[in-house]
């Protein structure tokens, strides 16, 4: 009986991870973005550019599981070593500078 419960738990865990995997690459994540305008992060365009799950999870954006609330990113976090700026540094991807605010923030 114990073994059956364990086997079921493992199966459910695998099914859960599997559906989470399927979700992200086709998913968009919306940040409110304040006065600057909302930011839509597109999982598919990022996957198409070759970004893999571990490039972003869990180090930059927490675990690969539904989040109760969005991570809080401030203007002061718009630096090369944090969150989106880890890649959006003007080398790996367009920088978080005046020319590019509107590439992420839409009013």
Closest to 24 in 3D by CA, of 4, 60, 51, 6: 51
Taking the complex as a whole, the smallest distance from the CB of residue 91 to ligand HEC amounts, in Å, to 9
- Complex with ligand HEC: residue 7 or 97, whichever CB lies closer: 97
Taking the complex as a whole, the smallest distance from the CB of residue 79 to ligand HEC amounts, in Å, to 11
Binding footprint of ligand HEC on the chain (CB under 6 A)? 20-21, 23-25, 29, 31-34, 36, 39, 41-42, 45-46, 49, 51-53, 55-57, 60-61, 64-67, 70-75, 78, 83-84, 86-88, 92-94, 96-98, 100-101, 103-105
Rounded distance, CA 28 to CA 40, Å?
6
What is the gyration radius of the CA atoms in the chain, in angstroms? Answer: 17
């Amino acid at each position: 009986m114990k073994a059956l419960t364990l086997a079921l738990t493992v199966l459910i865990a695998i099914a859960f991870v599997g559906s989470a995997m399927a979700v992200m690459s086709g998913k968009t994540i919306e940040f409110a973005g304040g006065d600057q305008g909302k930011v839509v992060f597109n999982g598919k365009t990022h996957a198409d550019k070759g970004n893999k799950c571990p490039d972003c999870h869990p180090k930059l954006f927490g675990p690969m599981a539904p989040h109760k609330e969005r991570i809080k990113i401030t203007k002061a976090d718009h630096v090369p070593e944090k969150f989106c700026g880890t890649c959006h540094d003007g080398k790996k991807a367009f920088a978080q500078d005046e020319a590019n605010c509107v590439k992420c923030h839409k009013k």
